[in-house]
């Protein structure tokens, strides 16, 4: 069976999107099938196409305008992905699966609302950051400024969920963020405090309105960008009084903008992620 594919990227975080009609033609009784093995094969950068994730549109939703199936490169499913959502939003709008620029998407993290902006950027309402330890999930109750012991170091981090779990660590000016993510990310990802594993963010504050971020992504490893990680990092920064509510987040693959009007006294505010979504190529597999 041949399937039409589209490769897209948002700040270097890249994804394979499968043509919905072509996908359905190859299914018996038009039923969805688990694409975990296909995701691992397609996302392999040596023997496949190469990507951080695989995305399939889902029109069989009632409570939202559209939905998606999202797989990490290791074949696992993810509740949410901010960069992937921007690419997905642009894709379904351009393919005319959706006929308006603001719409709702069903994900495992709940309903997410992207908006196609006139300048070509995509703004996503990423919903409300989750601080409840049980819902993150995070075993200790003190999810903010929690000391975690990894190898020969103790890091103070903040456990936050954006529909998927994150552990945000702020480091000193002279630290190498990427080196930290590579060395300690895998250990923290699988630490006992995180029963569903976790994404790990190492953050350096440049100004009240600008931070640098490097990510060890659950199920992927080092990625050039992570939208939910950017949102979790800004949330943690605001809650700790390190940064303001509108922040430029510099990642390996580019820059995104995050806005959150929440604070410690009123954290139940939606957070917004704005950034690029670009096509790389189309192909037939």
81 classed as catalytic: yes
Find the catalytic residue in 11, 43, 226, 231.
226
Question: Which residue, 66, 53, 159, is CA-closest to 112?
Answer: 66
DSSP state of 29: G
220 classed as catalytic: no
Residue 13: strand pairing partners? 10
For residue 266, count other CB atoms closer than 10 A to its CB. 8
Q: How far is CA 182 from CA 24, 209, 222, 231, 272, in A?
A: 39, 26, 7, 21, 28
Angle between helices 227-239 and 82-94 (to 10 degrees): 130
Find the catalytic residue in 81, 87, 220, 231.
81
| Burial of residue 96 (number of CB atoms within 10 Å: 0-12, 13-18, 19+) | exposed
For residue 27, count other CB atoms closer than 10 A to its CB. 11
Q: Which residues contact 33 (CB under 8 A, 6 or more apart)?
A: 27
E-only strand ranges, 73-224:
105-107, 110-116, 122-125, 146-150, 153-161, 165-170, 199-207, 210-217, 221-223
Positions annotated as catalytic residues are 81, 226
């Amino acid at each position: 069976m041949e399937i039409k594919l589209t490769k897209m990227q948002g700040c270097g975080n890249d994804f394979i999107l499968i043509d919905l009609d072509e996908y359905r033609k190859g299914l018996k009784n038009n039923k969805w099938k688990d694409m975990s093995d296909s995701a691992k094969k397609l996302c392999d950068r040596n023997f496949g196409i190469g990507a951080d994730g695989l995305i399939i549109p889902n029109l069989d939703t009632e409570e939202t305008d559209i939905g998606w199936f999202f797989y990490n490169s290791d074949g696992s499913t993810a509740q949410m992905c901010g960069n992937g959502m921007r690419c997905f939003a642009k894709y379904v709008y351009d393919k005319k699966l959706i006929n308006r620029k603001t719409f709702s998407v069903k994900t495992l993290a709940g309903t997410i609302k992207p908006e196609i902006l006139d300048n070509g950027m995509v703004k996503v309402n990423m919903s409300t950051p989750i601080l409840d330890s049980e819902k993150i999930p995070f075993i200790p109750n003190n999810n903010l400024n929690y000391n975690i012991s990894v190898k020969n170091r103790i890091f103070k981090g903040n456990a936050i969920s954006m529909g998927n779990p994150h552990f945000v660590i702020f480091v000193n000016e002279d630290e190498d963020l990427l080196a930290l993510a590579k060395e300690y990310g895998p250990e923290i990802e699988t630490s006992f405090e995180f029963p569903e594993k976790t994404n790990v963010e190492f953050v350096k504050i440049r100004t009240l309105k600008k931070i640098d971020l490097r990510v060890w992504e659950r199920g992927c490893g080092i990625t050039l960008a992570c939208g939910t990680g950017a949102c979790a990092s800004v949330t943690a920064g605001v809650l700790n009084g390190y940064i303001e509510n509108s922040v430029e987040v510099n990642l390996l693959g580019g820059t995104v903008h995050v806005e959150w009007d929440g604070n410690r006294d009123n954290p139940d505010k939606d957070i917004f992620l704005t950034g690029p979504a670009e096509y790389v190529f189309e192909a037939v597999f």
